[in-house]
Chains A and B, each alone.
Chain A
Amino acid sequence: DTEVTQTPKHLVMGMTNKKSLKCEQHMGHRAMYWYKQKAKKPPELMFVYSYEKLSINESVPSRFSPECPNSSLLNLHLHALQPEDSALYLCASSQTTVSFNVLTFGAGSRLTVL
């Protein structure tokens, strides 16, 4: 299995809703990442988990809450989002956080906040 699987593919939510994005990989990778991608822009790093511990938080607002319950799963909990948070959210994984480890990306979850 060489894939990163993200669910749901599409999500529409109101500003008062609570929802979660899920990411799963079974490649034995110990580093997992959340990126945010706005239309026609490159991905922007949000969070990095290394061995299930949060190692990087790129000053992301607290309405985004990551969770890594085990080495295969990564969640992003969403609460009280704003319309400007609408974007494609990409999950990625790599063997470790060493720089020559290639990142494998999922297909993304497209989020629309009304």
Chain B
Amino acid sequence: GNSVTQMEGPVTLSEEAFLTINCTYTATGYPSLFWYVQYPGEGLQLLLKATKADDKGSNKGFEATYRKETTSFHLEKGSVQVSDSAVYFCALSDKNNNAGNMLTFGGGTRLMVKP
């Protein structure tokens, strides 16, 4: 079956530090990959996505590259801000899954950015 593994948090960084949150996946088909962000007390927001190998998704200074050879989709940001403090979820959606748009989520990684 499909699965997503993320690094456990919390990840605590100082403002302007470099961020990496690791994400690896296992899928039987050809998945699309996503990063969602959840700010305290809110629902999930799509941060970025990639639909095929070597695609790079980017948004708000965050980037992630779909690496099929390492089955990874690591999230990076060059300089984090206090406002980036949130929980980040890596997720996949398998095109060959009869259930279509079912998302398989990783466990989530809490990021705390200190001033």
Q: Contact: B44 with A100, CB < 8 Å? A: no
How many chain-A residues does the 8 Å CB contact rule pick out?
A: 27
Docked complex: A95-114 residues within 8 A CB-CB of B: 96-108
- Would you give the 0/1 interface string for B84-115, flagging 1 where the beta carbon is closer than 8 Å to chain A? 00000100011101011111011110000000
With A and B bound together, what is the CA distance between A94 and B46 in angstroms? 12
A101 to chain B, nearest CB (A): 6
Q: How many residues belonging to B are interface residues under a CB distance threshold of 8 Å?
A: 26
**In the assembled complex, A81 has its CB within 8 A of some CB on chain B:** no
B32 cross-chain contacts in A, Cβ below 8 A: 99-100
Q: Please, which residues of chain B bring their CB within 8 A of the CB of A56?
A: 99, 102
Q: Which residues of B contact A94 (CB under 8 A)?
A: 101
Known A99-B101, A100-B95; judge A107-B46 contact (CB<8 A).
no
The answer on a CB contact under 8 Å between A107 and B43 is: yes
Asked if residues A101 and B105 are in contact (CB atoms below 8 Å), the reply is no
A90 at the interface (CB under 8 A from B): yes
Does the CB pair A105–B101 fall under 8 Å? Answer: no
B-side contacts of A45, CB under 8 Å = 102-103
- 17 more A-B residue pairs beyond the given contacts A42-B89, A99-B32, A100-B51, with a C-beta to C-beta distance below 8 A: A31-B100, A41-B108, A43-B44, A48-B101, A50-B100, A90-B43, A96-B100, A96-B101, A99-B31, A99-B97, A100-B32, A103-B46, A103-B103, A106-B43, A107-B41, A107-B42, A108-B42
A-B contact pairs, 20 of them (CB 8 A): A31-B100, A42-B106, A42-B108, A45-B102, A45-B103, A48-B99, A48-B101, A48-B102, A56-B102, A90-B43, A92-B44, A94-B101, A97-B100, A97-B101, A99-B32, A99-B93, A99-B95, A100-B51, A102-B34, A102-B49
